[in-house]
Amino acid sequence: MFDSWAVFEQAVLESNYHQSQETLEHLARRTASPSQAFALAYQAAIVHLVPLLNPKQWAAFCVSETQGNHPRQLQAQAVLNAQSQIVVSGEKTFVTHGQHVRQLIVIARSHLLEEQGRLRAYSLKKDTKGVEISESRPAGILPELDHGKLTLTEANAYQLEGDGHSDYSKRFRLLEDQYMLAVFCWHISAQLESLNITNADFSLTPDTLVDQVKIQGSLDANQLINLAALYEKFMKLSEEYLSALQGHSVIQQQWQRDSKLFLLAKKSRELRTSKARQSLSQTS
């Protein structure tokens, strides 16, 4: 197990987690906390989505604003400045890794040429002029992981190809869900082995569940429905894991607190699954 965040960070950022599932599994099985497991899954998802990112630096995907994260609520804007450079201005309320992030993918409205506010994805570096990240209050879960608020003031950016919502926001949420399932199954499996918990009564073991997870990033309706079913199995596994941690109070309390992570996007996942079912019913 990684005995500190610094050791974890070095191991992840110096590895080829983005190229090898074997490496990803090895790292996941060494995570000592849900904070570490989430950070690994999140980083793997964003680098999978945007391969031009430097895999050796923490990256953050920035969508949410003061009014929310629905496409209609997003106000950050990209324009051409006097030097014909793309610049982005606006605020994002949630930046994973906070001050430690080095790369940002920001969803903003493009006012370039005739795009008239179409959502696009932009890549920025933290050290770019006009990029400011301030501390935000603790989220109440994953205490090892910093978070921040992003303010952009005519910050130079690179516009990525594709639609900001369908090609980036929706696909990132999907990849994040898939990587989280895999990484947390490996994390739980390793914790059970480390604690020598062999008599726990699981309806489905983490190693069996992870074998059913396919990391593809496709928004195919059948895949979305299958992912929802896997999440239901994982939530049951999470409850059984919590019970199995009796007698290991520190880790049990940690899991009881941090497993709330899986409820944060529950409504979004349910809506995504409902739309997938509707799509299939209309084509059948």
Mean pLDDT of 184-207: 92
Q: Is the pLDDT of residue 200 over 80?
A: no
79 falls within a domain: yes
Do 220 and 118 belong to one domain? no
The verdict on residue 54 lying in a domain is no
Same domain (yes/no): 170, 275 = yes
Summarize pLDDT for 169-183 with one digit per residue, the tens.
999 999 999 999 999
Say yes or no: 275 and 202 in one domain. yes
Whether residues 76 and 115 fall in one domain: yes
* Nearest-angstrom CA–CA distance, 112 and 94: 26
Residues 202 and 148 in one domain: no
Long-range contacts, stretch 229-233, CB < 8 angstroms, 24+ apart: 230/181, 231/177, 231/181, 231/262, 231/269, 233/203, 233/204, 233/209
Q: pLDDT over 70 for what percent of the chain?
A: 99
Task: Look at residue 265 in the predicted model and tell me its pLDDT.
Answer: 83
For position 198, what pLDDT does the model report?
82
pLDDT tens, position by position, 7-57: 999 999 999 999 999 999 999 999 999 999 999 999 999 999 999 999 999
Place of tokens 């409504």: 267
Residue 100 lies in a domain: yes
pLDDT tens-digit series, residues 51-79:
999 999 999 999 999 999 999 999 999 99
Instruction: Write down which residue in 134, 159, 184 finishes a domain.
Output: 159
Last residue of a domain, one of 137, 159, 181: 159
- Do 250 and 179 belong to one domain? yes
Decide if 274 is inside a domain: yes
pLDDT of 261 reads 94
Query: Stretch 255-273: mean pLDDT, rounded?
Result: 91
Q: Is 68 in the same domain as 143?
A: yes
Q: Check residue 113 and give its pLDDT.
A: 79
**Residue 74 maps to which CATH number?**
2.40.110.10
> What DSSP string runs through 131-143?
EEEEE----SS-T
For residue 166, what are its two tokens? 């369908």
54, 57, 104, 49: which is closest to 76 by C-alpha? 104
Lowest-confidence region among 107-111, 149-153, 273-277: 273-277
Same domain for 173 and 254, yes or no, is: yes
* Domain assignment of residue 174, yes or no: yes
Whether residue 199 has pLDDT greater than 80: no
Look at residue 122 and tell me if it is in a domain. Answer: yes
Average pLDDT rounded to a whole number, residues 99-114: 94
| Pair 155, 171 in one domain | no
Q: Which of 159, 182, 217 is the last residue of a domain?
A: 159
Asked if residue 283 has pLDDT above 80, the reply is no
Same domain, 125 and 200: no
Residues 95 and 23 in one domain: no
Identify the pLDDT of residue 284. 63
Residue 33 belongs to some domain of the structure? yes
- What range does the domain containing 12 cover? 5-49
Is the domain of 42 the same as that of 65? Answer: no
- The answer to whether position 76 is within a domain reads yes
Q: How many domains does the chain have?
A: 3
Who contacts 220 (Cβ-Cβ below 8 Å, separation ≥6)? none
* Paired residues of 102 in beta bridges: none
Q: Average per-residue pLDDT in the chain?
A: 94
